[in-house]
Amino acid sequence: MSDTQTPEHARNTKAESFPAPEAMTRFLYIADTHLGADPMGYQQQRGYPEHFGQVLAALSDYIKADTGIDFVLHGGDMIDATTDDGIRAALDAFDLAVPVYLCLGNHDLTTSDAVDRWLTLATRFFPGGNPDYTIDTGHCVIHVAPNHWCDVPLYWHGRQDTHLSADQIDRLSRGLEVRPDVPHLLLTHSPVYGLPPEQTGFPAPCHCSNPSFVAQVTSLASNHGSLACILGAHNHMNMRATRHGVEFVTVSALVETPFEFKCFEASTRSLRMATVALAPALDFGAAYDATKAFVQGRSVDRSFGYDGGRPDACSQR
Ligand SMILES: [Fe+2]
């Protein structure tokens, strides 16, 4: 195993420095921690579930060193398979200095009663006591809508019939019309778009979702001018694409080298995102596959930002 060989742009332990006006929400977006995996199944860079504790400790230190972070948003696959002990372990591990909110992913939903288990054992991850919820920070609105995988709601047994339910579409359609004065973000576990060939060097987009799910989400993006950013996870890769005037973002797995997450800053007229790596704060010599540097993405795939209102938000729809 070689020492960490992360690309230069992934070695910073601090997010880019932005002006910090008081009227701003700052949150971290993490995903795919797969707590309990032994070993990890799907991975893009090498995963280190055996060092989960050290990675979480580094994340905790990052949060404590920056008192301006309001909460952590977890994009799903917090655990590797649904068990009561696994959920309790997650509740214990994600006892951070700020609240942690979860969008359930397929690996969190491997039993047909998984939602009941989560809501009973880990209530604090779900504001309002529901797997679908909305966070209104005053500066932005975040809609969490975990996607479904088969005909049984929020149950995954291997199928990837990715979709949102009619109830979810209805709730989102109504919610996106409330508070049109601030940027809205939507989080689903499944990504919408694949990584583009310009990022990967592959002949076609990589890790695409099914067309019906893409149509559902892009319809929301096209019909609701408040929607500024759509977050996904599941692919274990960093991606950023601007479509329909909306930023589509996915994040690589927190437990894979170089242990990255996103830092978001939102005000009523600005939205910024930077990618941060914890690798320099870890001492177990994690290996990095430089032939798959596309997983971390180019600079353009790793950050975006605007001030003073969204650029061409309406004209691009
Ligand atoms: Fe997943």
> 108 CA distance to ligand 1 centroid (A)?
8
What is the amino acid identity at position 300?
Answer: V
pTM: predicted TM-score of the whole model, two decimal places: 0.92
How many angstroms is it from 249 CA to the middle of ligand 1? 15
Where are the alpha helices (H) located in the chain, listed in sequence order? Answer: 52-65, 84-93, 114-121, 166-175, 197-200, 211-223, 299-302
Measured between alpha carbons, how far is 283 from 275 in angstroms, rounded to an integer?
A: 20
| Ligand 1 centroid to residue 109 C-alpha, Å | 10
Distance 107 CA to ligand 1 centre (A): 6
Distance 14 CA to ligand 1 centre (A): 27
Each of the 317 residues of the chain gets a pLDDT tens digit; together they read: 333 444 454 444 444 344 444 589 999 999 999 999 998 999 999 999 999 999 999 999 999 998 799 999 999 999 999 999 999 999 999 999 999 999 999 999 999 999 999 999 999 999 999 999 999 999 999 999 999 999 999 999 999 999 999 999 999 999 999 999 999 999 999 999 999 999 999 999 999 999 999 999 999 999 999 999 999 999 999 999 999 899 999 999 999 999 999 999 999 989 999 999 999 999 998 999 999 999 999 999 999 998 876 765 433 33
Tell the residue number behind the tokens 């939507």, with chain if given: 186
CA of residue 239 to ligand 1 center, whole Å: 15
pLDDT of residue 22: 53
- Interval between CA 67 and ligand 1 midpoint (Å): 30
In the reported structure, the alpha carbon of residue 225 is separated from the centroid of ligand 1 by a whole-number distance in angstroms of: 28
How many angstroms does the Cα of residue 222 sit away from the middle of ligand 1?
26
Query: Residues 6 or more apart from 214 whose CB is under 8 A from it?
Result: 192, 193, 208
Given this model, what pLDDT does residue 70 score?
96
Ligand 1 centre to CA of 42 (Å) is 9
| Residue 312: per-residue pLDDT | 54
Which strands, in side-by-side order, build the sheet including 270-277?
100-102, 71-74, 25-30, 260-267, 270-277, 304-306
Q: Domains along the chain?
A: 23-306 (3.60.21.10)
Nearest to 246 by CA among 167, 301, 313: 313
